[in-house]
Amino acid sequence: METIKPGSKVEIETTDKKFTGILMERPQLADDKHIVIKLGSGYNIGIKKEKIKNMKEIKEGRKKEEFKLKEHKIDPEKPTISILATGGTIASRLDYLTGGVHSAFTAEELISAVPELEEIANIRGRQIFNKFSENIQPRDWIKIAEETAKEIRKGIDGVVITHGTDTMHYTSAALAFMLKTPVPVVLTGAQRSSDRGSSDAAMNLINSAFTAANGNFSEICIVMHGEMSDSYSLIHPATRVRKLHSSRRDAFQTVNSKPIGKVENKKIEYTERETKPRGGELKLDTKLEEKVFLLKYHPGLIPGIIEKLIDMEYRGIVIEGTGLGHTSEILFDSIKEAIDSGITIAMTSQTLYGRVNMNVYSTGRVLLDLGVIPCEDMLPETAFVKLMFVLGHTKDPEKVEEMMLTNYAGEITERSIPWPP
Amino acid sequence: METIKPGSKVEIETTDKKFTGILMERPQLADDKHIVIKLGSGYNIGIKKEKIKNMKEIKEGRKKEEFKLKEHKIDPEKPTISILATGGTIASRLDYLTGGVHSAFTAEELISAVPELEEIANIRGRQIFNKFSENIQPRDWIKIAEETAKEIRKGIDGVVITHGTDTMHYTSAALAFMLKTPVPVVLTGAQRSSDRGSSDAAMNLINSAFTAANGNFSEICIVMHGEMSDSYSLIHPATRVRKLHSSRRDAFQTVNSKPIGKVENKKIEYTERETKPRGGELKLDTKLEEKVFLLKYHPGLIPGIIEKLIDMEYRGIVIEGTGLGHTSEILFDSIKEAIDSGITIAMTSQTLYGRVNMNVYSTGRVLLDLGVIPCEDMLPETAFVKLMFVLGHTKDPEKVEEMMLTNYAGEITERSIPWPP
């Protein structure tokens, strides 16, 4: 059983079922109790080794001619974009086409898998790393920012970053704070939704490439399906976007703002949202303080947890409070203790939509008096990433507060409606 | 300054401004650095005591005739409902009308403030306690359940519970698990949204009373504005509802399900959602394990935090994971340690919408192997409350898993779309 090479077609007989598929490598796997095969449907399944009665290679195997590398011709009339791969479901789509046993991710492979890309732009392709996005850590954001900057310095017209969808919005927010770019930088991925057999990878990649090549703006953004069918994609601003469904292809939604635009059939329709036009200087600033915690308030939350975060030497806590930015009063003393010991505490709302306003009720006012920073209409995830960035730049509480309440990357909208009226 | 009684009209001169309003009592306040007055607009503001240069009572004061108690006539032809008050913004609406200096909350006061109530039903009114909902704790859910059961035993036709909106959906989920009711039990509150000067309390109370008196079902539900204007309310199922906006009157939304119905002009329009019809036995079961933590996963989350939760002798952790129910692999060892030490770990998704499915990716499969319970399409807040309830009834891991995956109160929908297909 151990002699069958990954990439081979296998037939597996378990104690209760028979499976046929391509044996996969499992480079990131944390256990060795399973083997993984890719079924004909394109889905990977894991099979417990102890359940396997028999596994044999099917010799006729996968037809090599199914996937042929196309030669990539450079057209000087076309824009040039770089596609940087970081892993995730969108990569596994390519794995499926290429046999799934390596992740070289060259321009040739990309174009062979999604031929429409060549019509849009000259493509450069490169893999930064290969991780499921649930495993992506703040230091990976730095790596992605650095590699993106390297590509931009080559004078290209735009960058596409393929990424797992689970934490793509954390990464987009991090890039928005760390990178000032003269060209569009587009993150995209694939949901491979349960409601459709086919993958959304191709359309997301095509619309992302089109946006990177032709977008009239120079911001970080996420381009993903705008609705469940393969009709159009939305261009979401980096700091205002969130994965709001576990499986649907239109899982990503702009929150508390408007999308930058809509991409459909090689045409971008912009909304009235202001964007930074192409051009300007490239700036890379990757200083981050990793010791920041995102704490969701819930009834029954006890002060002890904040005391533990103090013990663990966290430098910042972003609270996902309730409503307009509240927690139970039983936490007030521990919040005071944290702030007194030099920890920044910032308040967002678990309602996700709307703005915190800590002047309306006494709970909010007391928290403000204690020194909690009200994060306006920032998403909790964005405020969390931003606090890492801010604490990477200053430890001075006044400066931290000033920076948290300054709009750097579209993350805060000025209050349009005064409250109280 | 200390001799002016709460409820008096006062004029306050601070170092930079002048205010006129009604001096309020602050029974729940955690600091004594402020006084609070209610402005003519109905909003309360806090004023720092140290800033106050002068405060004087305006003797002509509040006109007593503004608020007159109406006599409440019992009509044997009408249904009878009980309105139980727990505090929150909806109470402060009444406070404003009554002068805001006590919270007796009798039927007479309710009807005097919202005369339409008398047309709907014979009203009983009673205050259970007076708390902002951010301060409501699991033991308060028990109190509310007990008091609601007391009212139901009197043979009434329905119950309305007025409640702060911040954590109303946690309370509704808790009541749904603790209370089997033969009549509708309706939670309602007021958002007093920033985009409208007037309060939403009256319409919410009227539509809630109508639903309690006439609803054809016997479930716990939340009745709140269905849109931003004063048109209709939606009846949300207790375990499928969430506050999704910090200030809008239509902040409450049904997630992963359908509302029970729509209430408008004393008419209920039901959706096709199945409900439990009126009748059946009253059952009250309030056993809860309070040592449950709701942990939101974020990039950079370190295993140390789970180790601290083990130290703190938590009995259960509901993880708000990413996507289909994932965390970074760096947490796997600590999750194993927690489960080995007898802590239940259950997985939900921070996408809120959609279902966890831990069979699709290796990350999910490993977590399942470790013994993490996949909470289907339960909201994180509902799974959190449910785990408190389940651990209140059994410590046996198999029984815990079985109960978590059994639908008790509409919190789980059977998978409609298989994945992988």
Domain A9-57 and domain A65-284, same fold? Reply is no
User: CB of B123 within 8 A of CB of B149?
Assistant: no
Minimal Cβ distance to B369: which of A33, A166, A296: A33
Q: Output the pTM of the full model.
A: 0.86
B295 at interface of A, judged by CB pairs closer than 8 A: yes
Is 60 exceeded by the pLDDT of residue B415?
yes
Is 80 exceeded by the pLDDT of residue B94?
no
d(CA A220, CA A172): 7
CB contact under 8 A, A353 and B245: yes
What is the distance, to the nearest Å, from the Cα of residue A342 to the centroid of all Cα atoms in its chain? 30
Average pLDDT value for residue range B25-34: 59
CB contact under 8 A, A419 and B247: yes
Amino acid at B342: G
d(CA B246, CA A30): 40
Is 3.40.50.40 the CATH classification of the domain at A292-404? Answer: yes
User: CB of A37 within 8 A of CB of A9?
Assistant: no
Residues 185-224 of B with CB under 8 A from A: 194-195, 197
* CATH level 3 topology of A9-57: SH3 type barrels. (2.30.30)
What is the distance in angstroms between the Cα of B329 and the nearest Cα belonging to chain A?
6
Parse chain A into domains and list their residue ranges. Answer: 9-57, 65-284, 292-404
Mean pLDDT by 10 residues, chain A (421 residues): 72 86 62 73 73 81 53 88 87 53 63 87 91 96 98 97 96 98 96 58 93 98 93 97 95 96 96 94 98 98 98 98 97 98 98 94 92 98 98 98 97 64 34
B182 at interface of A, judged by CB pairs closer than 8 A: no
Helices marked H in A18-137: 89-98, 107-113, 116-120
d(CA B332, CA B363): 9
Minimal Cβ distance to A134: which of B141, B326, B369: B326
Minimal Cβ distance to A419: which of B194, B251, B417: B194
Partners of A26 on chain B (C-beta within 8 Å) are 362
Q: What percent of chain B has pLDDT over 70?
A: 87
CB contact under 8 A, B381 and A34: no
Q: Is A99 exposed, middle or buried (0-12, 13-18, 19+ CB in 10 A)?
A: buried
Kindly report, residue by residue over B170-214, the tens digit of the pLDDT: 999 999 999 999 999 999 998 874 334 467 888 999 999 999 999
B67 at interface of A, judged by CB pairs closer than 8 A: no
Provide the edge-to-edge strand list for the sheet that holds A373-374. Answer: A292-296, A316-321, A344-349, A373-374
Is 80 exceeded by the pLDDT of residue B293?
yes
Q: What CATH number should be reported for the domain whose range is A65-284?
A: 3.40.50.1170
Helices marked H in B114-167: 116-120, 138-153
Question: Residue A94 has what pLDDT?
Answer: 55
Count interface pairs A-B at CB distance under 8 A: 246
Could you give the dihedral angle defined by the CA atoms of residues B288, B246, B378 and A133, in that order, rounded to the nearest 10 degrees? -120
Question: Residue B68 has what pLDDT?
Answer: 64
Residue with tokens 């996902």: A320
Pick the CATH number of B68-284 from 3.40.50.1170, 3.40.50.1820, 3.60.15.10, 3.50.50.60: 3.40.50.1170
Least confident residue range of A102-106, A204-208, B248-252, B326-330:
A102-106
d(CA A277, CA A281): 12
Question: Residue B39 has what pLDDT?
Answer: 72
Partners of A170 on chain B (C-beta within 8 Å) are 298-299
Question: Residue A411 has what pLDDT?
Answer: 97
